[in-house]
Amino acid sequence: MAVGVYLPIWGMQMEEGKVVKWLVSEGDSVEKGDLLVEIETEKITNVVESAAAGILAKIVAKEGEVVKITGLLAVITVEGEGQTAIDAVIAQGALKEERPTTLIMMQESKEVSIPPMESSEVTASPLAKKMAKEHGIDLAKIRGTGPEGRIVKEDVMAFIEARSNAPAATRGIAPQVEDKSFDGEIVTMSQTRKVIARRTLESIKAPQGTLTREVDLTDILKFRKSIMPEFEKQYGIRLALTPLFVKAVALAVKAVPIINSRIDGDKIYISRKVHVGVVVGVKDGIVIPVIFNAHAKSLAQIARDWESLLKKASEGNLKIGEITGGTITISNVGNVGIDIFTPILNPPESAVLGITRTRQRPIVKDGQITIGEMAYLCLTGDHRVMDAEPIGQFLMGLEKILQNPSILLL
């Protein structure tokens, strides 16, 4: 029986993927589990596997095309099946690609044959109900994609997006006239920038605030310099600053666990494991690869992980599992000369640590004026989860670790 090869959903934030390269050709025989096509999402490359054995009879999505999640990529047939079987799968794929929001927008603009559920029949998660209330949305107009039709957060977000993207006439808004006087360049957003734009909007919905602490990094910089030759000789890798910060953050979280948490509805989930994401700049924006179980790893293990992730990020070869699942994020902007900034939360995490550039400044130490390698630690926290006190405790604890760096080797 002919089957379709569809674009998988590799994460809650994923909406579409770009076909990079087909690894097989039309007419080739394939086995279940064979690698078929490379897909790029958020500057991450994943490979779609064959769901069945047979013949790759039709490639629907060509290289370079952008496909929505669950969109049809190709058709696999078995011996004896012809064009009729292929056409049937393509027709089914067209229906599969239609999202619930399509019906929603039709209901807002005109009557359709599918009646909305009665309010009494609506089932939704607490977070979906809260979002609907905040945006003045009648949940009866939304069709849920959760278990047994339950409305989840993503359904409400899709409704909001569809409503904002609806033609102006359906929303009672006069259509905008193109500005003929514009003189400049219009750039179409890349896949990465689209994701960044969407996640930034999602982030600012959280009531967040940033607290800043100036710290002296003289000790940690001297420590790194002193152990670099032996470290490289023993482990075969150059010790960057990032692994030191990752290890320090993982240790500091132990004393203030609330920093390492996320919120869902009226529940706060405090993780015992510390998975540290680190912001990395790429061609069209940023990615945030994650160092998992940083609390349980040695400095050498963290350094190895970081070197591997950094290489993959630069080559665009990060997998979805390497950029999701973080519990806290580090954003170091020292390399672009920033003194103080406000890092933005990386949902669903509740805290993000910003690190600024280091500058030599006079400070008073033990009653004497000396020169310190000064920088700012800027921590943004979700105020639904934490207030100033735990943020301050975390920053003080982190400063203590950075000024006693031998702790990082324990």
Active site residues: 383, 387
Q: Quick check: helix, strand or coil at residue 348?
A: coil
CB-based contact 401:251 (threshold 8 Å): yes
Candidates 76, 71, 88; CA nearest to 33 is 76
What are the tokens at 383? 């105020």
User: Quick count: other Cβ atoms within 10 Å of Cβ 357?
Assistant: 16
Under DSSP, the state recorded for 336 is G
Candidates 106, 200, 233, 81; CA nearest to 162 is 106
CA neighbours within 13 Å on the CB side: how many for 182? Answer: 7
Non-local (6+) Cβ contacts of 93 within 8 A are 4, 6, 60, 71, 72
Candidates 332, 340, 333; CA nearest to 210 is 340
Inter-helix orientation angle 100-109/153-165, to 10°: 50
CB-based contact 328:307 (threshold 8 Å): no
Phi and psi for 345 in degrees, rounded to 5? -55, 150
Non-local (6+) Cβ contacts of 42 within 8 A are 13, 14, 191, 192, 195, 287, 323
Amino acid (one-letter) located at 279? V
Calculate the CA dihedral of residues 318, 320, 322, 324 and round it to 10 degrees.
140
- 40 forms beta bridges with 18, 45
Sign of CA dihedral 157, 160, 166, 170: positive
Non-local (6+) Cβ contacts of 373 within 8 A are 216, 217, 218, 221, 358, 359, 360
What are the tokens at 25? 């050709």
